[in-house]
C-alpha cells in the first residue's frame, strides 16, 4: 500500500489578484457554453492559473495573461519552467528567467518583479517561505521571500518541503540533513532538535514522524513534538503518515491483529484496518468505541484526513471516503442531489482531490467520454461535471478546463481549452482547438 503524504501549508500573501474578483454570472448559459464577451487568446495551451492569471504557451514561448485578456508578461519576456503553475507556489513568487540577461529572479502572477534577476538559477519556494537559488559558483543557496540569503545549518542547505496543498498551522521548524541523519532548525540556522534521526518528516499539526533503526536493524517510526520530545514511541514501520485533523495513518511493525490504523496524538488507536491476514468486507464494526474496518483488499493509496475525510483509493471505480468516526462513504453519497445527474449518467466516480475539494467524474450512458467536475467537502458542486479536465485556481473563482467538440457525426476529435467560471461557462478560450 502506498501512503499518500501531502503537506499542507499556510499561504504567504505577496500579491492578490484585484481585477474582477467576483466572476460575472451569465443567464441562459449552461456549462460548456462560451460567454458572449469571452476573451480569445492565440496560444497552444494553458498550463495553469494562479490569482486569475494564466500561464499560456505557444511553441517555446511563454506569456502571462489575465482573464480580461491583458498580457501582464508578453510573449518571450520570461522563460518559466514547465509545471510551475501546476505546483501552485505557496508564496506566489514565480521563478523565471529573463530572456535578455539570462539571469533568474522571481515575479508575481501579475508579472511584477518581486526578487531581482541576479541568480544563475532559481526554484520555487516551499511552504516555509524557503527558496533555493544559484549564486555564483554555489548552485544551491537558500533564500527567504525577500531574496535574502538564509544561514546554512552545519554547512548544509535546508530540505525544501514537498510542494502540495496547504491549510494547516505551519511549523517554524525545518528539516536539515547532517551526514546520514536529520534534525530540525529555524530559518536563522539555529538548531532546535539535533540531527539524530535516520529519517524524518515535516511537522504537521505540531507533530513530526521520525525514524530510528533498532539494534536488530528494523526501521521503527514514532512521533515527536516541536521540542523534540518523543510523544509516541517507535512502534510503526514503513513511512508513518502525517497528522491532519488530529489523526495519522500508521502500520505496526508486527501485523498481528491489524494491518493499518489511524491514531490520535496520544498514540491511541481510533480505528484499525484489516485483521493482519486476509480481508473481507467492506464493513465497519464498532468495538468498545474503536472502529474496526475490514476491506476487500488493500487500497492503492490511502490519504491523511482533509476536511474530515480520508481517501481510500482502490481503483477508478472504487474510492471510499473515510470519516473521522470510521465510517466509509461513496462520492455520490455525500454529493448533494446526485439525482441531478442521474438521467444521463451511469455513476459518479472519484477522480482526485485537494484541499479545495473533490474531483469527480460521471460516466454517461450514451457518450463515451467521462465528464469531470469538482465538489467541495460539504457535497456542493463547485464546477459542474462537463469537462475533459479541470484545474481550479486556488486563489480565484475560475478554473482551466477543456471540453470535447463534436465533429457533426456524434464523434469528438478536438478539444476547446480555456477558463471557466463557477457556472462552467467559458470566459476565456484559445482560438485554436487541440486535436486528439
pTM value is: 0.79
pLDDT recorded at residue 283: 36
pLDDT recorded at residue 317: 61
| Distance between CA atoms of residues 316 and 332, nearest Å | 14
pLDDT recorded at residue 425: 95
Nearest alpha carbon to residue 14 among 87, 79, 94: 94
pLDDT recorded at residue 302: 67
pLDDT recorded at residue 284: 35
Give yes or no for a contact between 54 and 69, defined as CB atoms under 8 angstroms apart. Answer: no
pLDDT recorded at residue 20: 47
pLDDT recorded at residue 85: 78
| Distance between CA atoms of residues 342 and 347, nearest Å | 8
| Residues 118, 191, 189: CA angle, nearest 5 degrees | 15
Q: Which stretches of the chain score pLDDT less than 70?
A: 1-21, 86-90, 161-170, 253-258, 273-302, 313-318, 336-347, 363-369, 406-413, 432-436
Residue written as grid cell 480505528: 271
**Collapsed DSSP state (helix, strand, coil) of residue 241:** coil
pLDDT recorded at residue 394: 83
- Name, in order, each residue with C-beta under 8 angstroms of 35's C-beta and a sequence gap of 6 or more: 24, 26, 29, 425, 426, 427
**Collapsed DSSP state (helix, strand, coil) of residue 139:** strand
Question: How many Cβ atoms sit within 10 Å of the Cβ of residue 148?
Answer: 9
| Distance between CA atoms of residues 96 and 118, nearest Å | 11
Looking only at the bridges linking them, the beta strands covering 199-200 and 283-287 are: unpaired
Amino acid at each position: 500500500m502506498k501512503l499518500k503524504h501531502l503537506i499542507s501549508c499556510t499561504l504567504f500573501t505577496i500579491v492578490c489578484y484585484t481585477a474582477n474578483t467576483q466572476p460575472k454570472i451569465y443567464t441562459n448559459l449552461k456549462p460548456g457554453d462560451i460567454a458572449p464577451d469571452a476573451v480569445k487568446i492565440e496560444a497552444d495551451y494553458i498550463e495553469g492559473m494562479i490569482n486569475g492569471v494564466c500561464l499560456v504557451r505557444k511553441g517555446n514561448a511563454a506569456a502571462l495573461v489575465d482573464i480580461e485578456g491583458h498580457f501582464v508578461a508578453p510573449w518571450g519576456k520570461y522563460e518559466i519552467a514547465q509545471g510551475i503553475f501546476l505546483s501552485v507556489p505557496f508564496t506566489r513568487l514565480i521563478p523565471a528567467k529573463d530572456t535578455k540577461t539570462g539571469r533568474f529572479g522571481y515575479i508575481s502572477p501579475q508579472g511584477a518583479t518581486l526578487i531581482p534577476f541576479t541568480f544563475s538559477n532559481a526554484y520555487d519556494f516551499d511552504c516555509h517561505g524557503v527558496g533555493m537559488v544559484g549564486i555564483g559558483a554555489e548552485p544551491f543557496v537558500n533564500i527567504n521571500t525577500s531574496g535574502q540569503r538564509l544561514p546554512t545549518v552545519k554547512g548544509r542547505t535546508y530540505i525544501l518541503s514537498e510542494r502540495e496543498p496547504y491549510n494547516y498551522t505551519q511549523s517554524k521548524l525545518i528539516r536539515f540533513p547532517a551526514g546520514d541523519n536529520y534534525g530540525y532548525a529555524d530559518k536563522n540556522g539555529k538548531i532546535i532538535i539535533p540531527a539524530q534521526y535516520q529519517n524524518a518528516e515535516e511537522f504537521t499539526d505540531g507533530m513530526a514522524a521520525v525514524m530510528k533503526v533498532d539494534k536488530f536493524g528494523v526501521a521503527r517510526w514514532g512521533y515527536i513534538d516541536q521540542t523534540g520530545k518523543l510523544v509516541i514511541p517507535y512502534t510503526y514501520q514503513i513511512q508513518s503518515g502525517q497528522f491532519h485533523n488530529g489523526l495519522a495513518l500508521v502500520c505496526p511493525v508486527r501485523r498481528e491483529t491489524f494491518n493499518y490504523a489511524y491514531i490520535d496524538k496520544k498514540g491511541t488507536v481510533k480505528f484499525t484496518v484489516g485483521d493482519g491476514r486476509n480481508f473481507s468486507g467492506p464493513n465497519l464494526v464498532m468495538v468498545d468505541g474503536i472502529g474496526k474496518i475490514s476491506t476487500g483488499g488493500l487500497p492503492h493509496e490511502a490519504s491523511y484526513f482533509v476536511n474530515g475525510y480520508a481517501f481510500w483509493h482502490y481503483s477508478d471505480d472504487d474510492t471510499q471516503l473515510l470519516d473521522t468516526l470510521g465510517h466509509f462513504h461513496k462520492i455520490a453519497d455525500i454529493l448533494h442531489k446526485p439525482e441531478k445527474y442521474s438521467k444521463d449518467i451511469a455513476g459518479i466516480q472519484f477522480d482526485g482531490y485537494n484541499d479545495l475539494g473533490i474531483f469527480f467524474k460521471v460516466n454517461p450512458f450514451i457518450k463515451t467520454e467521462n465528464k469531470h467536475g469538482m465538489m467541495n467537502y460539504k457535497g456542493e458542486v463547485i464546477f459542474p461535471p462537463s469537462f475533459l479536465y479541470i484545474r481550479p485556481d486556488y486563489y480565484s473563482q475560475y478554473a482551466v478546463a477543456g471540453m470535447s467538440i463534436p465533429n457533426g457525426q456524434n464523434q469528438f476529435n478536438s478539444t476547446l481549452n480555456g477558463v471557466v467560471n463557477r457556472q462552467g461557462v467559458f470566459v476565456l478560450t484559445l482560438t485554436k482547438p487541440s486535436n486528439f
